[in-house]
Amino acid sequence: MQPMPQRALGERERFVAFAFAAADLLVEIGPDQRIVFAAGAFRARLGNPPESFIGQPAVNLLALEDRPTFAAALAVLPARGRLPPTSFRLADAARTPVAISGLHMLSFGKEGQVCMAISPLPSAPEPRLAEPGDLLREGRERMQAGGGAAIGLIELGEVPPEGLARRIDSVLAQEVPPGTLAARLGPGRYGLLPDAGAGPLDLGALAGRLGEALEQEGADASVSTSALPLATDGLTSAQAARALRYGLGAFARLGGEGLRGAGFADGLGGVVAMLGRRAATLRRIVSTRDFRLDFQPIVDLATRQVHHHEALLRLEPGLLAPGEGPQDFVALAETLGLTEELDLAVATLALAGSAALPEGQRIAFNISGLSAQSAGFRTRLLALLDRDPRGASRLMVELTESAEIEEEAFAAATLQALRARGVPVCIDDFGAGAAAFRYLKAFPTDYVKVDGAFVHAALSCERDRSFVAAMVDLSIAVGARVVAERIETEEAAAAMHGLGVHYGQGWLFGRPGPL
């Protein structure tokens, strides 16, 4: 019997063959970051056929703790053109380690698509904890879905030194069940959220494992646990989300005692009730401007000359509960609907302070996403600036992501009106949340401030260093200049300058204080 003649592969067949030789899964991702094509071993890897993933967000392919980083990689990929092989974990029960590589493809008359190949790795990447913001965002989504989930909380009786803290972080990242999102909320304090549909966490077993690790290191510290149900009975979604943010902040600062003091003994509704009792005090602080601004320099990394200052809110001792700080005050104001009044008061003080600046310098002040999307706030802020055009020319605005923007068109109108008056716009904490990448596309932007957690991690982790470099490339591509925060050493300053960052902010250049 004669062997069958071999037909030469066509170009398309050859490329597909090469791709599958190197990958288990192939996906094509549209501009909205949803899957438009899927092929490969999806059933074996993820339990469902490839066609069931069409239309889903691409981040759903990955384990919860890797989704924010993957979203960041997708966002910057069009500017860089290519994602080199990068380690992630799949969203299967074993959190299978994979290498993902991608290419941005352009075709005539269409927005670019991203083609990605997903290949198994011979060994797992080092387990790592998620960021607190990731836990908050996932908790907020669970509340909106009404899933009845709970965040598990673990607290060490004594705050471990940094070296031991990293060891405890590693143990916890290795011990949590598959699909569980675990984050260090504060020194010695952790929050954990199981995968949707999974049963409750065995917090006792996790606490026992952490206790063993502490004993092995010669540390004698107790480990306690509690749970925070995400029930939203009687609350609006906004009230519940803000109460959760405030409560997790209280636990990060003061542990279980702070959580009880925030009203969490009675759930999220208890927090809202407690804040209601404090509302009069907070309204008085805002209306009488019973606070001040300190100013931290931001310098040109090439020349070390001061470029501008950031205005930072400071309250006198005794105005807030023990352990609370400026960020807690801002969170309280957001929860109570006082954000616009607070942001206008800060803008007024920043405008007054601008008179003390040397020629060519500016003061950057923060406005919340809640304020930016308010037409009433826009009218009042612009009227304030129009009364002092010279002072307005010495200001900048930093848009914060403490509350996600829902009415992007209204926020864009506010930022465009500011830029029309010569007030530059900066996106704050870039990289800390997926929304910031969307803001960069939706809003006029002059500056981008890279979140300090990425800056710190980039000094020791090549993957984080690569993402900072990608953020710089993306920012420059849209015409924005880049600021890196948490610059505390010459090593950090040199590393950021080497990645193309233009400006630095941190204790290396000066602590907050009077102008």
The whole-number pLDDT of residue 424 equals 96
Instruction: From 174, 184, 228, 177, select the one nearest 198 (Cα to Cα).
Output: 177
Residue 1 has pLDDT above 50, yes or no: no
Q: Which residues contact 105 (CB under 8 A, 6 or more apart)?
A: 112, 113, 114, 115
Rounded Cα gap, residues 228 and 247, in angstroms: 10
Listed ranges 164-173, 234-243, 456-465, 503-512; the one with the highest mean pLDDT? 503-512
Give Cα 37 to chain centroid, integer Å: 28
Q: What is the pLDDT of residue 435?
A: 63
Percentage of residues in the chain having pLDDT higher than 70: 90
**Residue 400: its pLDDT value, please?**
83
Residue 434: the pLDDT is: 57
Mean pLDDT along residues 201-214: 87
How many whole angstroms separate alpha carbon 174 and alpha carbon 215? 18
- Whether 29 has a pLDDT exceeding 80, the answer reads yes
Q: How far apart are CA 483 and CA 505, in angstroms?
A: 7
**Rounded mean pLDDT of the chain?**
83
pLDDT band at 274 (very low <50, low <70, confident <90, very high): confident
Provide the pLDDT for residue 42.
Answer: 86
Q: In this structure, what token pair is assigned to residue 475? A: 């920012």
Q: Which of 121-125, 242-246, 395-399 has the highest mean pLDDT?
A: 395-399
Backbone angles phi, psi at 467, to 5 degrees: -70, -35
What's 224-289 look like in SS3? EEEEEECCCCCCCHHHHHHHHHHHHHHHHHHHHHHHHHCCHHHHHHHHHHHHHHHHHHHHHHHHCC
Percent of the chain with pLDDT over 90: 27
Which whole number is the average pLDDT over 340-361? 91
3-state secondary structure of 42: helix
- Among 93-97, 185-189, 236-240, the least confident range: 236-240
In whole angstroms, what is the distance from residue 162 CA to residue 170 CA? 12
Q: Strands 35-40, 25-29: parallel, antiparallel or unpaired by DSSP?
A: antiparallel
Q: How many CA atoms lie within 13 A of 407 on its CB side?
A: 12
Q: Looking at residue 18, what is its pLDDT?
A: 52
In 67-203, at which residue ranges do the beta strands (DSSP E only) sit? 82-89, 97-107, 110-120, 150-156, 181-186, 189-193
Mean pLDDT to the nearest integer, 488-494: 94
The vertex-279 CA angle with 275 and 283, nearest 5°, equals: 145
C-alpha to C-alpha distance for 127 and 141, rounded to whole angstroms: 24
pLDDT band at 254 (very low <50, low <70, confident <90, very high): confident
Q: 3-class DSSP state for residue 5?
A: coil
Give the C-alpha separation, 152 to 190, whole Å.
Answer: 8
DSSP 346-400: HHHHHHHHGGGSPTT-EEEEEEEHHHHT-HHHHHHHHHHHHT-HHHHTTEEEEEE
Instruction: State the helix-helix crossing angle for 408-420 and 375-386, rounded to 10 degrees.
Output: 10
For residue 268, the one-letter residue type is: L
CA distance 34 to 296: 41
* pLDDT tens by residue, 426-453: 998 876 655 666 777 778 889 999 888 7
This prediction's pTM: 0.68
pLDDT of 6 > 60? The answer is no
pLDDT of residue 442: 79
Which of 238 and 229 is assigned the larger pLDDT? 229
Per-residue confidence at 422, pLDDT binned at 50, 70, 90? very high
Which residues neighbour 385 within 8 Å (Cβ) at sequence distance 6 or greater? 347, 351, 391, 392, 395, 418, 421, 423
Which is more confidently placed, 259 or 207?
207
> Which residues touch 295 (CB under 8 Å, ≥6 apart)?
309, 310, 311, 312, 353, 363, 512, 513, 514, 515
Residue 417: per-residue pLDDT: 95
CB 193 within 8 A of CB 152: yes
The residue count of the chain comes to 515
Q: Can you tell me the mean pLDDT for 348-367? A: 92
- Read off the pLDDT of each residue in 160-177 and give the average, rounded to a whole number: 82
Q: Where are the domains of the chain?
A: 11-120, 126-230
Among residues 158, 116, 147, the alpha carbon closest in space to that of 255 is found at 158
- pLDDT at residue number 447: 95
Q: Domain 11-120: state its class.
A: alpha beta
- What pLDDT is recorded for position 443? 85
266: pLDDT strictly greater than 60: yes
The whole-number pLDDT of residue 7 equals 45
Instruction: Tell me how many degrees the CA angle 356-417-481 measures, rounded to the nearest 5.
Output: 65
pLDDT, residue 8, reads: 47
pLDDT digits (tens, 9 = 90+) for 96-143: 888 998 888 765 445 668 888 888 887 655 677 887 878 888 888 888
Would you say domain 126-230 falls under CATH 3.30.70.270? Answer: yes
Expressed in angstroms, the distance from the first to the final Cα of the chain is 92
Angle at 297 between CA 295 and CA 300, to 5 degrees: 160
Residue 276 has pLDDT above 70, yes or no: yes
pLDDT value, residue 191 = 92
Residue 469 has pLDDT above 60, yes or no: yes
Alpha carbon distances (Å) from 244 to 35, 154, 233, 461: 31, 16, 14, 31
Q: Are 255 and 219 in contact (CB under 8 A)?
A: no
How many helices and strands, by DSSP H and E, does the chain display? 18, 17
pLDDT surpasses 80 at 354: yes
Q: What is the pLDDT of residue 311?
A: 95
Cα distance between residue 275 and residue 320, in whole Å? 12
